[in-house]
């Protein structure tokens, strides 16, 4: 099931180089992202319904019981941010964790490709995210989300010292250091 998640705050991100999840027994490297939604986010009811629908489609009559079980074990892409009280931005919000073995597409507001060097995407900015949600039975029952693409929407306060890199406009132009060294040498002569 696919959805375009709109206007969410980006938190943890592993966009440019896939990495295995920390403390995981799965060594597979993934591209990943975590996205924060306030409790009044307009798509939250739709996301909760998708969770129920995926469980009912996958497990039939057992769907409601399995849905409760995966909520308790955390094997679900949509979770209560209050379960992560030590992370900036999580308490009082909901969050979605998504990953992909294949590098997702990254775009700016004009749908132009974005690179890591541009520094446009950072933890704390607001984005739109193309997701695909699914039910799985690999190892445990659960509901996962695959990130397919991310679009930069607007800036936000950076989390954990992150943020966009400095732009050239922030620096002063410096005279040619070789010229200054030559002038200093001539003064000593």
Q: Residues of 46-67 as b/e, b for ≥16 C-beta within 10 angstroms?
A: ebeebbeebbbebbeeebeebb
Which value, in Å, is the radius of gyration of the alpha carbons in the chain?
22
List the alpha helices (DSSP H) in the chain: 44-59, 63-73, 177-188
Task: Give the chain's domains with CATH numbers.
Answer: 2-188 (2.40.50.140)
Rounded to whole angstroms, how far apart are CA atoms 126 and 160? Answer: 16
What is the pTM assigned to this prediction?
0.81
Rounded to whole angstroms, how far apart are CA atoms 179 and 189? Answer: 16
Q: pLDDT tens, 114-150?
A: 999 999 999 999 999 999 999 999 778 999 999 999 9
Rounded to whole angstroms, how far apart are CA atoms 132 and 127? Answer: 16
Q: pLDDT tens, 36-80?
A: 999 999 999 999 999 999 999 999 999 999 999 999 999 999 999
DSSP 56-85: HHHHGGGHHHHHHHHHHHT-BSEEEGGG-T
């Amino acid at each position: 099931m696919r959805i375009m998640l709109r206007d969410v705050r980006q938190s943890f991100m592993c966009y440019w180089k896939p990495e295995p999840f920390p403390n995981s027994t799965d060594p597979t490297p993934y591209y990943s992202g975590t996205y924060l939604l306030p409790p009044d986010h307009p798509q939250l009811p739709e996301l909760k319904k998708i969770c129920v629908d995926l469980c009912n489609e996958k497990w039939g009559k057992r769907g409601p019981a399995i849905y409760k079980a995966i909520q308790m074990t955390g094997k679900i892409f949509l979770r209560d941010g209050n379960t992560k009280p030590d992370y900036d931005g999580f308490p009082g919000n909901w969050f979605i964790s998504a990953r992909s073995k294949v590098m997702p597409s990254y775009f700016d507001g004009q749908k132009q490709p974005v690179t890591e060097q541009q520094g446009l995407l950072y933890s704390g900015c607001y984005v739109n995210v193309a997701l695909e949600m699914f039910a799985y039975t690999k190892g445990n029952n659960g509901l996962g989300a695959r990130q397919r693409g991310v679009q930069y929407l607007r800036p936000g306060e950076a989390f954990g010292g992150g943020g966009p890199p400095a732009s050239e406009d922030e620096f002063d132009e410096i005279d040619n250091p070789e010229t200054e060294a030559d002038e200093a040498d001539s003064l000593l002569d």
